[in-house]
Chain A
Amino acid sequence: MFTRRDFLKTTAAVGALAGTAGLAMPALAKGGKIKLGYVSPQTGPLAGFGEADKFVIDTFLKSFGDKFEVVVKDSQSNPNRAAEVAKELIVNDKINLMLVASTPETTNPVSTTCESEEVPCISTVAPWQPWFIGQQGNPGDPKSWKPFNFAYHFFWGLEDIIAVYTGMWSQIETNKQVGGLFPNDGDGNAWGDPNVGFPPVLKQKGYTLTDPGRYQNMTDDFSAQISAFKKANCEILTGVMIPPDLTTFWNQAKQQGLKPKIASIGKAMLFPQAVEALGKGGHNLSTEVWWTPTHPFKSSLTGQSAADVAAEFTKVTNRPWTQPIGFAHALFELAVDVMKRAEDPTDGEAVAAEIGKTKLDTLVGPVAWGSDKLPPFAQKNIAKTPLVGGQWRLKDGGSYELVVVENATAPQVPLGGKMEALN
């Protein structure tokens, strides 16, 4: 209703400096530049995810601007807008490969559009279940689920986050009563799903889940949930919330005397700014960690380590590092790798087939599709990256630092400390 589609002109970043890393690229020598389309939320409530885009694309074009052109579109945090700009990229800009990042609200409409228009697409930064199942015609019936021919996705899944969260929880003595805060959106419905979400695994691991039900995002009041959690004596809180709701909830919880030992909340605490908004109350809140400067991976484009890339981001933008930097960077690593192998970059089917054959060590870890660690229906289109757990620690001066405290599922990522209870 209040979109500003005409006001914000979408920007087209066009190549600047030349000077490649001397890679042999037979496919690229055939003349014109390869066109990459890139969709991410740069404005609106999800804008934090898109913050690193400009930096990543500038870095990419510095080395590959002579072979690639990137057309950037803003989803404005709106799924309808995301589908619309994806169509524009395909029909008007005639892109050769679509790259899309950040939350199912962005990745799903764009991937679906690409699949129906037969344009290859690499997607990331959304757990794979909401991405894969959310795009199926009948999400309720696993038998009807079909793999995609053009849309590929790399990220972790709910099974990883459940393993990471329960790993963190097992480090602290609790009564195993868990309170769940799942909103009525793509992520919340997947996390709270009675078949593939948290409930069955928690039950199996001996936790009791109190799930009052799906709430709407941008809620002003969480008294009902708080009173349900108090009644069940929940010492652990979990959920997947947007930052404004976490702030409202966390303040109300303290005002109404709910004092959990652990609070592991997904999505809301990815960004240091969101944790700082909680004031001192953010100390020792825990969250999933997909990428940090301590991850022991290197970029296949620039050879920089995770720490180098994060430091450069801070130097260029004067902002603290955020997790999406690594994944936005990896998207372009994959684009270069796939196009290097593709005979003809304009042949969508051939490019899509090459995506499926990828085996690349990226800034976010090794990416390869077709792993047998996934359920059979998802093996073709999903590649998994490592996930660990972290806690936000208040530093002197009021800023926060993310410390990795759980790495059982990805031991190559070093621990920064031990899990601490909230109070």
Chain B
Amino acid sequence: MRSTRPISGRASMNIIDTLVQGILLGGLYALFAAGLSIVFGIMRLVNLAHGDLIIFAAFAILTITSMFGLNPFLSALIAAPLMFAAGWLLQYFLLNRTLGKDILPPLLVTFGLSIIIQNGLLEGFAADSRRVPLGSLEAATIPLGAVNIGVMPLLTFLSAIVVIVGLNTLIYRAPIGRAFRATSDDPVTAGLMGIRPQRIFATATGLAMVVVTVAALYLGTRANFDPSAGPSRLIYAFEAVIIGGLGSLWGTLVGGVVLGVAQTIGATINPEWQILAGHIAFLAVLAFKPRGFFPRAVD
């Protein structure tokens, strides 16, 4: 019924193309996941509103772009501190109250937050599917023999690496990172040493929101988004975090790449397999390495 493509002399070229596109796609998933990874790694907080926050940030970038006629990259630069502030306030005044022994309150609160954000955006921006315009950069491409690499996907992947190097430097080299790790390990003792866990948590969420802004920039320029598009992004973020291993940022990148490559390989066999292949890869990792490739957090 459906044609399977014959294997030709260009098959090897196709495999390279599939891998390259998959790895680049993995960069996008890693960006989705990095914010989630920080929040979970430091606070053990599962943020179900993460996808909606990405869409929220995308609308913020879109608004700044269209209001001031700025380049989307500049808009993201303006949106980032705003999102940091929003994240800080959100954590300090709302999410901190949900943290405790019981894992249910944060889940319920962030689930509610997800609904509030979606409907708030629907009210403010209507249900239109929108996109952040990038002009000629959208179609820009680098031809490398038989493989064409899009400039935007390449930038997405490089940004994912920059974000992860940056976060790792911050967490493992800077004083604030020491405070993050100390609070994450033992908030009570960290408190005795003069660290205020509430503020540390707030800063961490603020930081996660900056990463969310970067993810939103690349999501918003790559595809259309509308107020209800968040949850479908959440699952890839979760899977990337779990595949990579909780608490490891490089692991998150690996997780994103595993998902991306699994999807493109699946799609090459048959597009019906595309999304399923990603989920199967995730299940396979869970079955054989239940704690992911590079687990750092000990629970």
Contacts and interface: CB of A to CB of B under 8 A. Distances in A.
Interface of A: 1-2, 4, 7-8, 42-45, 47-48, 51, 77, 184, 194, 210-216, 218-225, 227-228, 231, 243-245, 247-248, 251-252, 254-257, 271, 273-274, 277-281
Contacts of B138: 251, 254, 279, 281
B224 A255 contact: no
Interface in B18-43: 18, 21-22, 25, 28-29
B274 A4 contact: no
A222 B222 CA distance: 12
Contacts of B14: 227, 231
A229 B73 CA distance: 32
Scoring A210, A218, A244, A245 by chain B CB atoms within 10 A of each residue's CB, the highest score goes to: A244
A211 B119 contact: no
Contact of B129 (A42, A211, A231, A273): A273
Chain B binding surface SS class: helix
A1 B134 CA distance: 33
A336 to B, nearest CB: 29
Contacts of B122: 43
B143 to A, nearest CB: 7
A400 to B, nearest CB: 14
Scoring A7, A227, A245 by chain B CB atoms within 10 A of each residue's CB, the highest score goes to: A227
A257 B127 CA distance: 32
B248 interface: no
Contact of B271 (A42, A48, A214): A214
A216 B274 contact: yes
Interface in B139-190: 139-141, 143, 148-153
A103 to B, nearest CB: 14
A381 to B, nearest CB: 28
Nearest 7 A/B pairs, CB to CB: A255-B150, A47-B127, A224-B267, A254-B139, A215-B271, A223-B21, A244-B224
Contact of A223 (B5, B17, B225, B228): B17
Given A221-B267, A223-B267, A224-B267, A214 B272 contact: yes
A257 B148 contact: yes
A270 to B, nearest CB: 12
Contacts of A223: 17-18, 21-22, 264, 267
A225 B134 contact: no
Scoring B22, B127, B152, B268 by chain A CB atoms within 10 A of each residue's CB, the highest score goes to: B127
